[in-house]
Amino acid sequence: MTTLKSKLHDDLTAAIKARDELTSSTLRLTLSAVAYEETAGKTARELSDDEVLKVIVREAKKRREAAEAFDKGGRADSAERERAEGEVLARYLPQQLSDEELTAIVADAVAEVKAAGAEGPKAMGAVMKIVKPKVGDRAEGGRVAAAVKSLLVG
């Protein structure tokens, strides 16, 4: 078992013993998603830490989107629950980049692309190709895209 997956299991056990319903239900759902990913496809396999992290990132994104949908639907209690579950999952995610750090990375990439001759909104794809590997899971795609757009247009 990978170290991240075993940490999830250990934390689930601790949450159950502490009768922490929010954490235990969130970790159960996440471990279920990991198990599903392991059995998806033609053969069952053990996920690496990076693959488990991708599942956690995907689950956290689902929580954010669900919270927004509940807010729009006027269901503040459900939205709050989704945000709380997202905070539980955030403990397992890498430290997110600050807006300043993200802007600095994007500015370097924009300068690099402009030096190669591409400018304006058409350069978005080229900039994203440079930025995405540097940022990885430390910033949500929407945040990265917004930063790239603002610097390309501005």
**What's the pLDDT band for 9 if we cut at 50, 70, 90?**
very high
Q: Is the pLDDT of residue 13 over 80?
A: yes
- Reduced to 3 states, what is the DSSP secondary structure of residue 30? helix
The contacts of residue 119 (CB under 8 Å, 6+ apart) are: 152
The predicted-structure confidence for 96-154, as pLDDT tens digits, reads as follows 777 788 888 888 887 777 777 767 667 777 778 888 888 777 777 778 888 888 777 76
Which of 83, 90, 88 lies closest to 65, judged by CA? 83
Q: With the C-alpha atoms ordered 34, 8, 69, 138, is the resulting torsion angle positive or negative? A: negative
Specify the 3-state DSSP secondary structure of 115. helix
| Contact assessment for residue 56 and residue 93, using Cβ atoms and an 8 Å cutoff | yes
Question: Looking at residue 142, what is its pLDDT?
Answer: 79
Whether 113 and 131 have beta carbons less than 8 Å apart is answered as no
Model confidence, pTM: 0.73
d(C-alpha 152, C-alpha 106), whole Å: 10
pLDDT tens by residue, 27-86: 999 999 999 998 987 888 888 888 888 899 889 889 989 999 999 999 989 999 999 998
Q: What is the pLDDT of residue 154?
A: 61
pLDDT of residue 67: 92
Please measure the distance between the N-terminal and C-terminal CA atoms of the chain and give it in whole angstroms: 48
Residue 63 has what pLDDT? Answer: 92
